[in-house]
Amino acid sequence: MYQNILTENREQIFYITINREDKLNALNIQTLTDIKNAVLSIYEDASVRGVIITGKGSKAFAAGADIAEFANFNVEEGTKMSAEGHAVLRAIDNCPKPVIAAVNGFALGGGNELAMACHIRVASENAKFGQPEVNLGITPGYAGTQRLAQLIGKGRALEFLMTADMLNAQQAYAFGLVNHVVPQDQLMAKCEEILNKIKGKAPMAITSVIRCVNAYYEKRADGADVEINEFGNFFGSEDFMEGTRAFLEKRKANFAGK
């Protein structure tokens, strides 16, 4: 079904593993297409409550866009590549279920951009982050200039993008680029722990949190208006009634997702 990724649905978590270990999981166009289709396939799938994206092997999450593939692109092809990459990462960012990047090694260029499009990032101790595009004579093309500034602030982003310096996991944590740093053998368990916690919450409220937070960064939306609207709509939902009733009755809520 997919050429360059492995997928698995286990205990309501959908795992996407980039499967190009010999190329350090470099993101060629087929791989990005696979990731986009896999993510879109679970948007409406009630058996999935969260997604983990990782890279095969212990060396790389993804070492960037595939340099060999785009090395001879012209202006038109380069523009198309960037627009398509943006669309793939938007599909992740707008996913109605929480998406976690399990960064198990190099996250460079498009790899770091992929991780930044996920809602949460967990890094193993050997992870390394970088946007080395200026070394290749280009800028990041998969929203790296936008999301990096959102995550770590404009000044740090500009330095990081212009120097092409790599950050190790602890530096990435100190900058707020990743939420957690764990030993490599505990990486998936940490991601699962976070998703299992989220699984206990009302699914529609989780989707709404993602939509409201994303709205802040949408140029055409007013985040405050979106939040007011989303908040008000909950007052007609079963989960809201169940959640508030459970609190008042001093019991654990049992959400139906309606």
The set of catalytic residues is 113, 133
Structure letter (DSSP) for residue 81: H
As given in the structure block, the two tokens for residue 237 are: 């939902």
The b-or-e profile of 77-86 (16+ CB within 10 A means b, else e) is eeeebbebbb
Q: How far apart are CA 152 and CA 199, in angstroms?
A: 28
- Per CB under 6 A, which region of 72-80, 83-91, 92-100, 102-110 contacts ligand COA? 102-110
* Pick from 237, 217, 216: nearest CA to 225: 216
Among 57, 132, 223, 257, contact with ligand COA (rule: CB under 6 A):
132
Among 34, 133, 192, 239, binds ligand COA (CB under 6 A): 133
- Tell me which of 68, 87, 189, 256 binds ligand COA, using CB under 6 A: 68
User: Is 257 one of the binding residues for ligand COA (CB under 6 A)?
Assistant: no
What amino acid is encoded at 195 in this protein?
L
Q: In the stretch 14-33, what mask flags binding to ligand COA with x, by CB under 6 A?
A: ---------xx-x-------
Residue 142 beta carbon to ligand COA: minimum distance, rounded to whole angstroms: 9
Between residue 199 and residue 228, which ones bind ligand COA under the rule CB under 6 A? Answer: none
- Between the two ends of the chain, the Cα-to-Cα distance in Å is 32
> Of 55, 85, 109, 203, which one interacts with ligand COA (CB under 6 A)?
109
Report if residue 67 touches ligand COA, rule: CB under 6 A: yes
Contact between 4 and 27 under an 8 Å Cβ cutoff? The reply is: no
